[in-house]
Amino acid sequence: MQNHRFLRVAAVLALILAASPLFAQRRITIKLASMVPENTPWGEAINRLSSEWSQATNGEVELVVYHNGIAGDEAEVLRKLRMNQIQAAVFTSIGLNSVTPEIMTLSYPFLIRSDTELNAVLGKLKGELDAKMQQNGFVTLAWARAGWIKIFSRSPVYVPNDMRKLKVSASPNELEMMQAFKTMGYQIVPLNLNDILVSLNSGMVDVVWQSPIAVAGYQIFGVAKNMTSISVSPFMGGILMNNTAWRRIPDRHKNRLMAICKRLETEIENSISKLEADAISTMQKYGLTVCETSPAQAQEWYDDMARYEGNLVGAVFNRDLYQKIKAILEDHRRGR
């Protein structure tokens, strides 16, 4: 009889303890901010990331996503991230550069020229860049290429001197790129993306370098009807989490969560590549002209950049990373 009474008491005690917060499963909420619209490959991938993280941790890690820039622009989001008001965020190369300035060197104009070259560079340098992010307070959950920056213009641009005659729009947040092009003799006009179309219509600017996806979305090609075929630079994106939040996640979950991020990284890149190709094709149907640069004309861009290397490397772009990228590309182009 006493044994039965003991078992009943033990069972009741177990139920009480299970309901206690001290013994309940600990839920970790991660707030993730994104400037990207939800109905894009990036937005859809982040929603899948949220769902898969929850499944992989049996609900212990909850990823709450704030799409469409509602958490603020990249500068505001980075401030909130450092204060732990949010714990993770999607950044373009501008935001990534604010955390680790060396990253902007990946966007050195006309340095990296193709997807295969970008693969070669990232394959060698991702670990180093991740380590620099970690030193600056963040874990890199995913890197992703967001396409290529192209030149769009009111009149055709084939070679550097064509563009030097025109007024070129540049984001006021891309200080390094603005400085680079000013150094090279271009007429730079700082403009936010939302103001470009009006400024093109008014004649305030004639040229914009931008992602074809953005140009299609903002209808910029309706005025800037020419796209130079040569790519200026890769357009990078990434998802960062602050170290404080990453430390809160139990170690037993981390490898699985990272594996999910790496798989989605590849899916995003494939989706973006197709979206960019579709955007260019659609714009062509509505009047965009692609100005195909010949090999000789492409070489003019490369030679022009080489002339200004001494002004840009060290002053605008990180010298050490530039030299590493250049060495990787030289080996790659020799077929090593």
The 10 Å Cβ neighbour count of residue 12 is 10
Supply the CATH number for residue 210's domain. 3.40.190.170
Residue 30: inside a domain, yes or no? yes
SS3 336: coil
Of residues 219, 184, 189, the one with CA closest to residue 206: 189
Confidence of residue 1 (pLDDT cuts 50, 70, 90): low
Domain hosting residue 303, numbered range: 26-333
Number of domains forming the structure of the chain: 1
Confidence of residue 273 (pLDDT cuts 50, 70, 90): confident
The 10 Å Cβ neighbour count of residue 244 is 13
User: Do residues 103 and 96 touch, judged by C-beta distance below 8 A?
Assistant: yes
Question: Alpha-carbon distance 87 to 121, whole Å?
Answer: 29
Look at residue 94 in the predicted model and tell me its pLDDT: 80
Instruction: State how far Cα 120 lies from the chain centre.
Output: 18
List pLDDT tens digits, range 47-68.
999 999 999 999 999 999 999 8
Residue 144: inside a domain, yes or no? yes
Residue 14: inside a domain, yes or no? no
Residue 12: inside a domain, yes or no? no
Report H helices in the chain: 2-19, 41-56, 74-82, 93-99, 115-135, 160-164, 175-183, 196-202, 212-217, 243-248, 251-285, 295-307, 309-312, 319-333
Residue 17: inside a domain, yes or no? no
Look at residue 36 in the predicted model and tell me its pLDDT: 80
Q: Which of 175-184, 288-297, 303-312 reaches the highest mean pLDDT?
A: 288-297
Residue 6: inside a domain, yes or no? no
Look at residue 321 in the predicted model and tell me its pLDDT: 95
pTM of the full structure: 0.83
